[in-house]
């Protein structure tokens, strides 16, 4: 038996078959040969990879740099968030000859555990490309670049990435929010307007693209000044949390948004969740006596009472229904005797407002409070807003109506109280609060505007005026609970409040935890500003809003009124031609702390801009009128310095 070689046998068979079957078999033969050749090439390539896995491959193709995320600015254009470029440290594992030595070099620069870096370089991951550190600091990336240029870090590279920078640091941080490593908004304005701020897709011509600018209603000058006042109150009264809001009463634009404790969004991962909470928006609490101004407004508007009605508060409030169900009476801190509306607000009488609540049905009272906005979100364009708590009347008990009237058994957020107060400032009309003015495209066109929006008329102008005048008495009367908000020469309407905090463990009111607050509007005849300060569980010398929040409100009024052109009687007004000669100060060297740049021109700032370890943001032209951080702040490497020029 003769055995032919495979190839010879194949050719013989194919030839004989071709001679008998014709052209179709020839085509089949060609297809089979091409298929076998392709399979052979794949097997050879696979064998090479398996036998030589460390063969150097071409590095991954570079991805075009992403577009630039739009900035967040205040109403004057001052930068609160902007795009910067940082370098990420990467490793291409096939090129690393000595992983142990490489890990030691990297550890010395990054101040990280060399064992952890070695794990990244030698791990069992199928990926040959790994990130050692995303968005390293300029100091770190410069040091790594030097080592790469010296040939000490083969396989280690630097990849440019976009990063977010917050020059104002802690100012309004819970409101502004922050982004993650991939430049995606995670909280606050950054999250709510992520699709607006984020750039679009790259065009076919690979031209750079830019996200829109979000302009806030905040004024960062005012924000800085009020945060300083809030910090003083924080240090004096040691509360668990503190909120301070300032609103333009006529437009409902929020000018100041303070939530303490706060954090630095540049390094947000180093802070606890409790420090990042946007409390004015998401926390609901029982407001206490501040709520009474809205109760009195609802009662007056219903026509069931007049300012002249008298209430004998001596025996407390315990109607027959309370006695029938053995409900404890509602009492005051002292025996205030017989009070009219003015006296009830001046002394913040629980008994008087509870008595007056009998003139309004539960359903009508509920409807009035809903019209003020309680129990519903204000619809600010921010994530996580609380609805507050206002149960329907079907869930009210025998005590609910008078209890809600004094600010208990109802939950509010700080922004709800601020919004409700717009009814008092605008002749009874509720305005929707505003935190964003407009969205602006990169070419300067306005994409979306957020105008002043009237929601509905809640009370009459007469009722609003009456409540404001009665609140003013709480400031000017020596016995008034809000007398510590008084600013000589400035007419202020204010109401203080102190509420017990519910203990989540027992479901009952805590005996040692309280919430103190003050709501103020000024000037009384035509309010320009609404200020609301809240301290959660103050642990200093006092728990009362009249002694903790009121002094802070006074300082805010004293500080902001002159800046906003609100006249204060007795202040001297100086007129001049408008021409001012400014004597240039002599530039001082930067030592360990920041100097006072006030009055410096742009030319005088040039020598300081050569400091590569500092990040400078200069807004405007002329001379420095505002700086942050303030003079005397210790200088740290990588510090951001903001200068406002006019």
Q: Is 131 left (phi over 0), alpha (psi -120 to 50) or beta?
A: beta
pLDDT at 118: 86
Quick check: 372 and 316 in contact, CB under 8 A?
Answer: no
pLDDT at 6: 43
Q: Is residue 619 part of a domain?
A: yes
User: What CATH number is associated with residue 85?
Assistant: 3.90.1310.10
User: What CATH number is associated with residue 269?
Assistant: 3.40.710.10
Of the listed ranges 104-118, 136-150, 203-217, 419-433, the one predicted with least confidence: 203-217
Q: Is residue 309 part of a domain?
A: yes
> Strands (DSSP E) along 389-435, which ranges?
429-431
Q: State whether 83 and 16 are in the same domain.
A: no
Quick check: 287 and 407 in contact, CB under 8 A?
Answer: yes
Average pLDDT over residues 113-141: 83
Q: Is residue 573 part of a domain?
A: no
β-strands 624-628, 640-645: how paired? antiparallel
523: preceding bond cis by omega (within 30 degrees): yes
Q: Given a cut of 80, is residue 585 above it in pLDDT?
A: no
Q: Is residue 66 part of a domain?
A: no
Quick check: 404 and 365 in contact, CB under 8 A?
Answer: yes
Six token digits for residue 288: 């206490």
Q: State whether 191 and 228 are in the same domain.
A: no
Domain carrying residue 27? 6-51
Of 534, 563, 592, which residue constitutes the final position of a domain? 563
Helix (H, G, I), strand (E, B) or coil at 574: coil
Mean predicted lDDT score pLDDT of the chain: 88
Contacts of 333 (CB under 8 A, 6+ apart): none
Closest CA to 435 of 68, 177, 199, 163: 177
pLDDT at 539: 94
Q: How many whole angstroms from its chain centre is CA 367?
A: 32
pLDDT at 61: 41
Q: State whether 191 and 338 are in the same domain.
A: no
Which whole-number Å values give the CA distances from 54 to 92, 169, 241, in the listed order?
Answer: 12, 46, 57
Q: State whether 269 and 345 are in the same domain.
A: yes
Of 578 and 59, the one with more pLDDT:
578
Q: Confidence band (pLDDT; 50, 70, 90) for 308?
A: very high
Phi, psi of 425 (to 5 degrees): -90, -15
Q: Is residue 160 part of a domain?
A: yes
Six token digits for residue 410: 């109802």
Q: Given a cut of 70, is residue 423 above it in pLDDT?
A: yes
Q: State whether 510 and 438 are in the same domain.
A: yes
Of 211, 235, 260, which residue constitutes the final position of a domain? 211
DSSP state of 393: G
Of the listed ranges 85-89, 232-236, 305-309, 411-415, the one predicted with least confidence: 85-89
pLDDT at 86: 78
- Model confidence over 196-210: pLDDT tens digits? 999 876 555 566 788
What are the DSSP calls for 262-273, one per residue? ---GGGGGGS-H
Q: State whether 551 and 524 are in the same domain.
A: yes
Q: State whether 393 and 316 are in the same domain.
A: yes
Average pLDDT over residues 402-407: 97
d(CA 28, CA 35): 11
Average pLDDT over residues 244-271: 96
Closest CA to 561 of 532, 528, 605, 589: 528
Average pLDDT over residues 519-538: 98
Q: Is residue 242 part of a domain?
A: yes
Average pLDDT over residues 396-410: 96
Q: Given a cut of 80, is residue 274 above it in pLDDT?
A: yes
pLDDT at 437: 97
Q: Confidence band (pLDDT; 50, 70, 90) for 508?
A: confident
pLDDT at 64: 46
- Model confidence over 109-121: pLDDT tens digits? 888 888 888 888 8
Q: Is 238 left (phi over 0), alpha (psi -120 to 50) or beta?
A: left
- Model confidence over 162-198: pLDDT tens digits? 788 999 999 999 999 999 978 899 999 999 999 999 9
Q: Is residue 63 part of a domain?
A: no
Total structural domains within the chain:
4
Q: State whether 229 and 207 are in the same domain.
A: no
Of 570 and 146, the one with more pLDDT:
146
Six token digits for residue 135: 């968005």
Of the listed ranges 8-12, 383-387, 395-399, 459-463, the one predicted with least confidence: 8-12
Q: Given a cut of 60, is residue 251 above it in pLDDT?
A: yes
Q: State whether 177 and 303 are in the same domain.
A: no
Q: Confidence band (pLDDT; 50, 70, 90) for 280?
A: very high
User: What CATH number is associated with residue 590?
Assistant: 3.30.10.20
Which percentage of the chain shows pLDDT scores above 90?
A: 59
- Model confidence over 44-101: pLDDT tens digits? 676 665 555 444 444 444 444 457 899 999 999 999 999 887 788 988 888 888 888 8
pLDDT at 50: 59
DSSP state of 494: E
β-strands 615-620, 640-645: how paired? parallel
pLDDT at 629: 80
Q: Is residue 410 part of a domain?
A: yes
Q: State whether 541 and 614 are in the same domain.
A: no
Contacts of 637 (CB under 8 A, 6+ apart): 139, 613
Q: How wide is the angle at C-alpha 523 spanned by C-alphas 369 and 229, nearest 5°?
A: 90
Of 506, 533, 563, which residue constitutes the final position of a domain? 563
- Model confidence over 332-372: pLDDT tens digits? 999 999 999 999 999 999 999 999 999 999 999 999 999 99
Of the listed ranges 329-338, 519-528, 557-566, 597-606, the one predicted with least confidence: 597-606
d(CA 351, CA 418): 25
Q: State whether 137 and 239 are in the same domain.
A: no
Q: State whether 526 and 603 are in the same domain.
A: no
β-strands 454-457, 72-73: how paired? unpaired
């Amino acid at each position: 038996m003769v055995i032919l070689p495979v190839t010879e046998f194949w050719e013989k068979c194919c030839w004989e078959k071709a001679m008998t079957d014709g052209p179709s078999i020839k085509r089949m033969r060609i297809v089979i040969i091409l298929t076998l050749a392709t399979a052979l090439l794949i097997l050879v390539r696979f064998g090479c990879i398996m036998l030589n896995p460390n063969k150097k491959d071409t590095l991954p193709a570079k991805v075009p740099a992403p577009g630039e995320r739009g900035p967040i600015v205040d109403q004057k254009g001052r930068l609160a968030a902007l795009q910067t470029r940082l370098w990420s440290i990467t490793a291409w594992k096939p090129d690393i000859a000595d992983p142990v030595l490489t890990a030691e070099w990297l550890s010395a620069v990054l101040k990280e555990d060399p064992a952890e870096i070695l794990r990244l370089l030698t791990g069992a991951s199928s990926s040959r490309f790994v990130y050692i550190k995303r968005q390293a600091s300029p100091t770190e990336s410069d040091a790594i670049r030097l080592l790469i240029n010296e040939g000490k870090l083969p396989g280690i590279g630097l990849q440019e990435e976009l990063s977010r920078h917050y020059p104002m640091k802690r100012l309004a941080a819970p409101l502004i929010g922050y982004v993650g490593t991939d430049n995606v908004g995670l909280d606050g304005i950054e999250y709510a307007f992520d699709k607006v701020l984020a750039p679009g897709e790259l065009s076919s011509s690979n031209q750079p693209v830019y996200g829109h600018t979000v302009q806030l209603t905040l004024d960062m000058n005012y924000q800085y000044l009020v945060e300083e006042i809030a910090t003083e109150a924080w240090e004096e009264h040691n509360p668990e949390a503190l909120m301070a809001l300032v609103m333009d009463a006529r437009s409902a634009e929020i000018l100041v948004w303070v939530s303490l404790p706060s954090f630095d969004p540049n390094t947000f991962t180093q802070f606890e969740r409790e420090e990042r909470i946007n409390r004015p928006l998401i926390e609901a609490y029982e407001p206490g006596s501040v709520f009474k101004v809205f109760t009195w407004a609802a009662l007056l508007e219903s026509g069931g009472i007049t300012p002249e009605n008298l209430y004998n508060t001596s025996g407390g409030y315990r109607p027959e229904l309370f006695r029938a169900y053995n409900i404890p009476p509602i009492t005051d801190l002292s025996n205030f005797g017989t009070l009219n509306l003015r006296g009830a607000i001046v002394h913040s009488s629980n008994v008087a407002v509870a008595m007056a609540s009998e003139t309004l049905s539960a359903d009508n009272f509920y409807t009035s409070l809903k019209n003020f906005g309680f129990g519903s979100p204000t619809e600010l364009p921010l994530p996580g807003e609380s609805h507050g708590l206002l149960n329907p009347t079907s869930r009210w008990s025998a005590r609910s109506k008078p209890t809600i009237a004094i600010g208990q058994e109802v939950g509010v957020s700080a922004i709800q109280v601020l919004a409700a107060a717009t009814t008092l400032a605008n002749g009874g009309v509720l305005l929707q609060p505003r935190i964003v003015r407009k969205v602006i495209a990169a070419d300067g066109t306005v994409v979306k505007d957020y105008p002043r929006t009237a929601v509905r008329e809640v009370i009459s102008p007469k009722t609003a005026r009456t409540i404001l005048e009665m609140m003013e008495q709480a400031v000017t009367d020596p016995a008034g609970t809000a007398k510590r908000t008084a600013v000589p020469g400035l007419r202020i309407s204010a109401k203080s409040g102190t509420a017990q905090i519910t203990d989540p463990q027992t479901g009952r009111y805590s005996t040692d935890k309280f919430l103190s607050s003050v709501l103020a509007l000024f000037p009384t005849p035509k309010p320009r500003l609404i200020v609301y300060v809240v301290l959660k569980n103050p642990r200093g010398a006092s728990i009362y809003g009249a002694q903790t929040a009121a002094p802070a409100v006074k300082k805010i009024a004293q500080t902001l009124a002159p800046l906003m052109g609100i006249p204060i009687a007795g202040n001297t007004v100086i007129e001049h031609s408008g021409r001012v000669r400014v004597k240039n100060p002599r530039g001082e060297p930067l030592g360990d702390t920041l100097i006072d740049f006030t009055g410096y021109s742009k030319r005088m700032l040039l020598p300081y801009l050569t400091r590569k370890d500092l990040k400078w943001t200069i807004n405007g032209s002329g001379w420095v009128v505002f700086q942050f951080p303030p003079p005397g702040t210790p200088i740290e490497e990588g510090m951001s310095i903001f200068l406002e020029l006019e």
